[in-house]
Amino acid sequence: QVQLVESGGGLVQPGGSRRLSCAASGSIFSIYAMGWYRQAPGKQRELVAAITSDSTNYADSVKGRFTISRDNAKNTVYLQMNSLKPEDTAVYFCNAKDRKYGYWGQGTQVTVSS
């Protein structure tokens, strides 16, 4: 089992920045990929960014604005979000994958509004 706890959400003005954190605990030795997803009201959950030991990938809508990174010593994954737009407003979920399961955090709300 893997437990994920997100933090860092909140209200931010358009053009602003925010950093989300996802702390993993439990059977973390089995994780081979972690990522951030988001879900806006009335929309499906979508992949924002993902990271493995040797690669990262991003949704086209966030390329050049968002950066995913990890601190293995802290078992934490980050999502640095810059140049935020109102359409980035969503609940952001952390995800971790091992060879059998996918695990989810509880989500953190990010609202981009003036």
Q: Kindly state the tokens that stand for 48.
A: 């924002």
Q: Kindly state the tokens that stand for 12.
A: 């931010």
Pairing of strands 76-81, 102-104: unpaired
Mean pLDDT of 4-27: 96
Query: What's the maximum distance between 2 C-alpha atoms anywhere in the chain?
Result: 42
- 27 bridge partner residues: none
CA–CA separation, 64 vs 51, rounded Å? Answer: 16
- Tens of pLDDT along 60-110? 999 999 999 999 899 999 999 999 999 999 999 999 999 899 999 999 999
